[in-house]
Structure 1
């Protein structure tokens, strides 16, 4: 389905690969800002160049190098992941369409996530780790045109991203905020504290939390 009115959070295909829209700048020629779900690589394009995909039961895709399968028939578990497909947030909550969240508590038919969002059962589907045998591979719009070289690269992606996450933050490194799409440069590191270019101060362990931030640029010229 071609899109001419794009909504933040939508899953879309661009150049045959699954992406997620994180912001829209209507004044720009390429107004749609997205990241590729499998590795968080950012791209900008026009609405007419993308195709909508609505995630559904037994869809399987790679998120940050790890395969997940959407299961509408399973209940959430503490420590597991969910995908918000029908967001209806409370006034103080911070989540939207197709948000990836990690379950921290279960309170009846509501889960409380690691970001302290209470999310009702009707709002989300469960993400089961791994690609199940009868699932549909939605990482690519047309799997028949994916090269063997690309398949092999995808197989190596998880290990590469795992190594990246082990890198300690250094001045000049750039991190992507997975929830608002913003990029921030590390401008100071003192002890366990990190200062980002926009003024935010974080603990190193918070910046390395893969549910919130991902490293998109390593400054190899400055190593503490």
Structure 2
């Protein structure tokens, strides 16, 4: 893709796997910040290394280690995930393209999510649990050479820390702070991540892109 074509929220393929764009920084060579949907790990790359994909009804993919199928005309229940593929937010709403939110309540007009967004039924696709037999898997752009058991997300994670998507050496920048903080992952114990400078954070917090942003890993020469 060209840099001017990239927008926050787009689904894209990077290194053959499905990701979502969560940030674009045009002034940098590696200007595209991505989240791999399979395990929510963060990655950075260039616009030339990604290819856009528009999710649609009956697509299926792994999100945070669990498989879902997108459904158009199936009403959600409280606790279900939805993919906001056709956003038309009102003035006080804060959602945008392809955000994934959890449903709190449902009525005839739409849903209210855990982020207190009111979303019309025409704006989202339901993420129904499981990979439906009639679905179109979109986890990989090219399925050639992919293990037929790829629904088991575990073997696809390229680090030795069980289901965590963080590696020793990853450098993160804290976003929700007036002071510039960049720190390297120096140790991992269970679901607790230890950063240089004495920071100790839960893995879920480190993966929250509103709080921490992955920068790079100096030991990962294959990163691009």
Q: Deviations over 1:18-45 (max 9, x none)?
A: 0000010010011110010111111111
CA distance in 1, matches of 2:124, 2:140: 23
Q: Deviations over 1:58-91 (max 9, x none)?
A: 1000000000000113112222111000111122
Equivalent residue number for residue 67 of structure 1: 67
Does residue 126 of structure 2 align to residue 90 of structure 1? Answer: no
CA distance in 1, matches of 2:45, 2:151: 27
User: Secondary structure at the residue paired with 2:200?
Assistant: coil
CA distance in 2, matches of 1:6, 1:121: 26
CA distance in 2, matches of 1:107, 1:92: 19
TM-score normalised by the chain length of structure 2: 0.71
CA distance in 2, matches of 1:40, 1:14: 14
User: Secondary structure at the residue paired with 2:100?
Assistant: strand
Matches within 5 A, 1:68-217: 68-147=68-147, 151=150, 154-155=153-154, 160-161=162-163, 167=191, 171-173=199-201, 175-176=205-206, 178=208, 180-183=209-212
Bigger proportion of residues as helix: 1
Q: Mind listing any 5+ residue stretches in structure 1 that lack a counterpart?
A: 185-224
Please tell me whether the aligned partners of residues 42 and 207 of structure 2 are also in contact (alpha carbons under 8 angstroms).
Answer: no
User: Secondary structure at the residue paired with 1:172?
Assistant: strand
TM-score normalised by the chain length of structure 1: 0.71
CA distance in 2, matches of 1:157, 1:106: 35
Q: Deviations over 1:109-139 (max 9, x none)?
A: 2100011111111110111011111111111
Question: Post-superposition shift, 1:144?
Answer: 1.4
Please tell me whether the aligned partners of residues 23 and 181 of structure 1 are also in contact (alpha carbons under 8 angstroms).
Answer: no
Q: 1:15 to 1:62 in 2, by over 3 A?
A: same
Please report the RMSD computed on the Cα atoms of aligned residues, expressed in angstroms. 2.7
Matches within 5 A, 1:19-98: 19-98=19-98
CA distance in 1, matches of 2:83, 2:151: 27
Q: Mind listing any 5+ residue stretches in structure 2 that lack a counterpart?
A: 165-187, 214-224
